[in-house]
Amino acid sequence: MRNVKITIQYDGTDYHGWQMQLNGRTVQGELTAALSRIDGRPVVIHGAGRTDAGVHAEGQVASFNIASEIGATELRDAINGNLNRDIRVLKAEFVDSSFHARLSAKRKTYRYRIWNRDIVPPFVHRYVYHYRGNLDIEEMRRAGSFLVGTHDFRAFAGAVAESRNAIRTLERLDVEPDADVITITAAANGFLRYMVRTIAGTLIEVGRGHLGAETVAEALEQNNRALAGPTAPASGLTLAQVDY
């Protein structure tokens, strides 16, 4: 058996997230079916991150074991030949047996894109959150600065975080405007479910003037989800990169 690492891009709009489900089309399910056909046996695939329904990926990473003696480029092409075009394997490579896409990951970087104009072009609407009002970028940055570092992030996650370790190290949180788009970039050693989308929703509320930057710090200190903003829509979120 050989251990394989693949780098994947996908448009998550029409999927029920990464993780395989009994009912619902998922990215992991599509890849598992393709690999099992290629290898002639059930193949178990592990992803670096479990993106939610509607979330996209430019640099998702997955790993699995394969018995076939097929070459790396041929394997990449064979997988793509068994997938719909909204999922593409960019690269396949054989790696040491100790490599695991999730457990070996050191850092994940997500981008949340806000389309900040009156009209969203049809070519980008699947990949952004549309907000047409004015947003105070400097206040969004100031609020975000409170979140950088090692904290308990349960105030910025789903309810499941209440029952497990919610401490994460947020290494980077940038808010950058560029023409029609405001991009929130978050990099951490790991993320809780809905964490990036809740941070994005909170910063948007700060930018609108509906939430004070200091309230973000209070939400973090008090572990109080009610003080944070709403969870922003999935369409704007993309898993950009995984570092090892």
Q: Which residues are catalytic?
A: 52
- Residue 41 zone, left/alpha/beta (φ > 0; ψ -120 to 50; rest): beta
Torsion of CA 242, 46, 234, 76, to 10 degrees: 70
Crossing angle for the helix pair 195-208 and 137-145, to the nearest 10 degrees: 130
Contact by Cβ (8 Å): 59, 88: no
Question: Rounded to whole angstroms, what are the CA distances from 233 to 36, 40, 126, 206?
Answer: 33, 39, 11, 17
Task: Give the separation between CA 198 and CA 6, rounded to whole angstroms.
Answer: 29
Task: Give the separation between CA 54 and CA 25, rounded to whole angstroms.
Answer: 11
Any idea what the Cα angle at residue 89 is, between residues 236 and 130, rounded to 5°? Answer: 10
Task: Give the separation between CA 175 and CA 138, rounded to whole angstroms.
Answer: 9
